[in-house]
Amino acid sequence: MRRKIIYTGLILLGIPLIIAVSFILYLQFTEYNPAALEFVASNGKGQPLPSNKSDFSFLTWNIGYAGMGKELDFFYDGGKTVQPEKPDMEKYMKGITSEIRALDSVDFLLIQEIDKDSKRTYGQDQLSEIEKALPAFCSAYAANYKVGFIPVPPMEPMGKVTAGLSTFSRFPSENNERHAYDAFFSWPKRLMFLKRCFLVSTFTVLGGKQLIVVNLHNSAFDIKGELRNRELAILQTYLQREYQKGSFIIVGGDWNSNPRGFRQEEIRSGDKVYSMQPEVGDTFMPGWQVVYDHFLPSNRNADIPYQKGVTGTTIIDFFVISPNVKALNCFTLDKGFENSDHNPVFAKFRLDAGFSGNIMF
């Protein structure tokens, strides 16, 4: 009898272990492992890029997969919400596509956190929805989050996530590339987290020179900044190499870090403001300009639903431009975090064909 009890106990203990090992093996064998460099297809026809065009308008916006509107919090940030209610998600997505449709005069839109087939957004193809809102644009998409099943939180797991970032351009690109970062969380945590990247689109301008447009979404939940620092080092190596060729370069997106020179006291929106360390500091692309709106926050914390003056806000969405590009203006569109935990950031740039500065590092 005693032997039977021991045997039964071992079985009961072994079943959860077998399930756990099987699940880890499933994640291991289905792990998203993109190559260091992948070419990305372009959708849409766009319109010819005038050979003498030197002024270009940009907008960068992390849309928070239409699941991070002002009424919601997020469990990873200390809140409770894992999956938005479907009516909320549909409301936010409708608001996002409406905002994007109204921005169809912008030359480039750099969009992050677009779900294509995720449990958290009820399988909605958000890329297709945005493409419908911008029928005259070309688009290029790069995945950065592909996990078959995310088991946290245990009582309400996130499940399947497929998401990425996309560059929408009024003009057809000549080439689109997904450049992988090799900065990951350690195993097995990396099996359930994003595989970050930056998306590069190339255009011929001003009689044969190259305009390089970079869309990025760098690491979050990186307390020590180790992943973000590694990502910046990889990005810097790429940017230096391309700039030495004489290219014009504009980088935008969600950096998940404050920009160089960020000061909390400059924010005039009436919001509570906090800083994130490490910032994108002086060692990243020295001599290049960091472009952002100093007076309005672009991101809010999601530990609670957004409350002006109570919820923490900061600036993590901005542009970095090469010395042969001039910033004409830059401002954050204050949407009150209505449909996303990020506000869109607009900027206009001029390519300086006569720039004669030193392009070496």
Each residue's pLDDT tens digit, 69-121: 999 999 989 999 999 999 999 999 999 999 999 999 999 999 999 999 999 99
> What is the layout of strands, in order, in the sheet containing 299-300?
272-273, 312-314, 299-300
pLDDT at 84: 96
Average pLDDT over residues 116-134: 97
Residue 51 CA to residue 61 CA, distance in Å, equals 28
pLDDT at 4: 59
Q: What is the pLDDT of residues 53-64, one digit of tens each?
A: 999 999 999 999
pLDDT at 361: 40
Other CB atoms within 10 Å distance of the CB of residue 61 = 28
Tell me the pTM.
Answer: 0.93
On the question of pLDDT at 244 being above 70, the answer is yes
CB 108 within 8 A of CB 351: no
CB 205 within 8 A of CB 54: yes
Average pLDDT over residues 207-222: 93
3-state secondary structure of 66: helix
pLDDT at 154: 86
Q: pLDDT tier at 203 (50, 70, 90 boundaries)?
A: very high
pLDDT at 194: 83
Give percent above pLDDT 70 in the chain: 88
Q: Which of 19-23, 120-124, 276-280 has the highest mean pLDDT?
A: 120-124
Average pLDDT, the chain: 91
On the question of pLDDT at 11 being above 60, the answer is no
Average pLDDT over residues 30-57: 92
Q: What is the pLDDT of residues 215-241, one digit of tens each?
A: 999 998 887 788 999 999 999 999 999
3-state secondary structure of 7: helix
The alpha-helical segments, DSSP class H, found in 102-194 are 126-133
Q: What is the pLDDT of residues 321-341, one digit of tens each?
A: 999 999 999 999 999 999 999
pLDDT at 360: 44
On the question of pLDDT at 14 being above 80, the answer is no
3-state secondary structure of 338: coil
Q: pLDDT tier at 190 (50, 70, 90 boundaries)?
A: confident
Tokens of 23: 């699940």
Q: What is the pLDDT of residues 167-187, one digit of tens each?
A: 999 999 999 999 999 877 667
